[in-house]
Structure 1
Amino acid sequence: MVGTDNGRNVTIAMIARLAGVSVPTVSRVVNGRSDVAPQTRKRVEELLTRYGYRRRSPTRQTAAGLIDLVFNDLDSPWAVEIIRGVEEVARSSGVGTAVSAIHWRISSAKQWLDNMRARSTEGVILVTSMVNPPLHAEFCRLHIPVVIIDPAGVDPRESPTIGATNWAGSLSANQYLLGLGHRRIGFIAGPPHLMCSRARLDGYRAALGAAGVPVDPALVRPGNFHPETGYLAGTQLLALPDPPTAIFASSDQMALGVYEAVRKRGLRVPGDISVVGFDDLPEVRWCSPPLTTVRQPLAEMGMLAARTVLRLAGGEKTDSERLELATELVIRDSAAPPRRR
């Protein structure tokens, strides 16, 4: 509390509430930072003047804010790449990063929300999720901006979303396999509730359809982006009476699970079956053979999400509610023309 208005203490929180912005936004104006939209800065400064707010001395300035980065879980190198991108932007902007994994259990979500209220949060980045109505209402009440990476669906509240060109990436991977001569291509899907999973399945279907190759339902298997489901689906596909000559796994971790299924069957990649993944995680270039995969710019997605949150926290508008970064097929050694049977 740093000033008075007719005998009442004036706080940054009061000014933020009156201006309709977050507490960190007011703090940035008070501390003379440049990352605030001009109109927002003007509105906040007018309120600071009107209510007689007195700036603290430099030795007592408000602590730096945080970006809250929230995952369902953190048991994947995919999450590490997102964190790396967010932290790079946060560090250069003078804010911290608070990483949470809440598994979307009610108790975990409530504890996280209580913790978030107690700290100076610039904004929230949710990964592979949606904002449910009660949580959205709380974010609005606190004037906290939200950005979603790989949303579970189209958010009717129009929170900005960050993703990659999943359909195009899947299309290019399967066109590559078709170009090598494969006609029986297995597909291992991701969680069906995620937009990125559905886009990758649609890209697979589109590539086969354009080549005049019918989609065989027996070659499409469920997965959850983790190695165990890649191993299970790979085992099932290889056991078919007419198995695929190639498998496209819609995550690198599932592709590595397929590698193990191939090994346990006494077969070889790509001599007996070709394998292609999706993500281009750092370790897949070192597996044997190095994995052909679709590069998803995960760190860049984290960086863009962090920049977007900070822009929103500063009172700026986003250029688009849905932002997609380009994917790229990275050809290595795990795919080859099919062996004659």
Structure 2
Amino acid sequence: MRDVARAAGVSVAVVSYCFNHPERVASVTRERVLATARSLDYTGANAAARALRTGRTGVIGLVCGRENRSPLDDLPDIQIARGVANVCTQEGLSLLLAPRTGSPMDGLIVVGDHPDPPLHPVVYIHDAAGRGDAPHVACDLDTGIRDVASLLTALGHRSIAVLGYPGDGERRAAAARHLGTADALTVYEATSRRHSEGHLAARAALAAPARPTAVIGLSGDLASGAFDLCLRLGLRVPGDVSVVGVDDTPDAAALGITSVAVPHRETGEIAMGLLRAALRGQPAPRVPRLPAPLIVRASTGPVAGS
């Protein structure tokens, strides 16, 4: 701690406050001290001793979905975890991924649908059901998917396949709401939102007697899987089939897939900011839904022959 204080040009007491009572230190000073600490591989006083002294563990938990899946298995979850971790690092906190029931933590961030966790301050991300007065961060998926519907309608698409996955409730509801006027709107189920599942669900959709002219993947990886399958089947994108995704993943961008861009990392950062306020006993500010704009790329075009 003395080395950090000397390198940052502050007292030992200020370094201690930065780790144990960060709200009492000016943000500019705190960030300088924490950056210096990271450069010296200093992570603060012993966690057990700090817990005894402050009643806090210095640990934040991140729970993804009802099944408490690992956030390292899915790109949107990875992006959320990075956003949460960025703020944890600034605050000198540790992040516990997929914590087990009873794990010592100061608070939780819950992504998607999950039973109410007990005892901890909680912030929810992308939980369509809402949790009363609990802080909640969400994106304006409704507007993004409405813009998808407007684009496809303007391009003449009336036969549309939607590739869904477990837990896609808000996205699926928006698709049904805004694409319900299509002559043929069919949902094909995937068991997850991964690329390989996009292959399987799209294969079923494209094998239908009346092949859809557009495929919407309710995740970015489902969309890129559908795009890849179209190419393997010798179908032109967008000449034969238009493809759209929800989540603007790096693969979707590289393939030129029209996508609804969901700012996952930003949601993680904002959620951690709300949890930080709750841990300090401060009222949580109301957060408006974050924009999820439609990015139009080369994978969408007019229906062939129109």
Q: Please state which band the TM-score falls in when normalised by the shorter chain.
A: 0.7 to 0.9
How far did 1:29 drift? 11
Q: 1:30-68 deviations in whole A, cap 9, x for unaligned?
A: 9553269xxxxxxxxxxxxxxxxxxxxx97872771221
Aligned position for 1:24: none
What is the rounded CA distance, in whole Å, between the counterparts of 2:243 and 2:19 in structure 1? Answer: 55
How far did 1:316 drift? 1.1
Q: Does the 8 A contact of 2:240 with 2:304 survive in 1? A: yes
Amino acid at match of 1:183: R
**What is the SS of the residue equivalent to 1:164?**
coil
Aligned position for 2:22: 33
What is the rounded CA distance, in whole Å, between the counterparts of 2:172 and 2:228 in structure 1? Answer: 23
Amino acid at match of 1:329: L
What is the rounded CA distance, in whole Å, between the counterparts of 1:84 and 1:113 in structure 2? Answer: 23
Q: Does 1:66 align with 2:59?
A: yes
Distance 1:30 1:325, change over 3 A: closer
What is the rounded CA distance, in whole Å, between the counterparts of 1:35 and 1:239 in structure 2? Answer: 63
Aligned position for 1:259: 227
Structure 2 residues without counterparts, runs of 5 or longer: 1-15, 26-43, 52-56
* Pairing partner for 1:330 from 285, 295, 298: 295
How far did 1:270 drift? 1.4
Q: Does 1:164 align with 2:139?
A: yes
Q: 1:66-97 deviations in whole A, cap 9, x for unaligned?
A: 22112223311111111111111112222222
Amino acid at match of 1:339: A
What is the rounded CA distance, in whole Å, between the counterparts of 1:128 and 1:309 in structure 2? Answer: 16
Amino acid at match of 2:130: V
Q: Does 1:150 align with 2:126?
A: yes
Q: Does the 8 A contact of 2:22 with 2:91 survive in 1? A: no
What is the rounded CA distance, in whole Å, between the counterparts of 2:24 and 2:246 in structure 1? Answer: 36
Q: Does 1:340 align with 2:296?
A: no
Aligned position for 1:88: 86
CA-atom RMSD, angstroms? 2.8
What is the rounded CA distance, in whole Å, between the counterparts of 2:142 and 2:159 in structure 1? Answer: 20
* Pairing partner for 1:298 from 241, 255, 264: 264
- Aligned pairs (5 A) from 1:1-341: 31-34=20-23, 62=50, 65-71=58-64, 72-73=69-70, 74-100=72-98, 112-114=100-102, 116-117=103-104, 121-132=105-116, 135-136=117-118, 139=119, 144-151=120-127, 153-155=129-131, 158-191=133-166, 194=167, 197-209=168-180, 212-214=181-183, 216=184, 219-223=186-190, 224-287=192-255, 290-320=256-286, 324-340=289-305
Distance 1:208 1:32, change over 3 A: closer
How far did 1:284 drift? 2.0
How far did 1:301 drift? 0.4
Q: Does the 8 A contact of 1:122 with 1:309 survive in 2? A: no
Question: How does the TM-score come out when normalised to structure 1?
Answer: 0.68
How far did 1:228 drift? 3.0
Amino acid at match of 1:207: H
Question: How does the TM-score come out when normalised to structure 2?
Answer: 0.76
Amino acid at match of 2:182: V
**What is the SS of the residue equivalent to 1:286?**
helix
Q: How many residues align?
A: 260
**What is the SS of the residue equivalent to 1:275?**
strand
- Structure of larger gyration radius: 1
Q: 1:250-273 deviations in whole A, cap 9, x for unaligned?
A: 111101121232123221211211
Higher relative contact order (CA 8 A, sep 6+): 1
What is the rounded CA distance, in whole Å, between the counterparts of 2:126 and 2:45 in structure 1? Answer: 41
Structure 1 residues without counterparts, runs of 5 or longer: 1-26, 37-57, 103-111
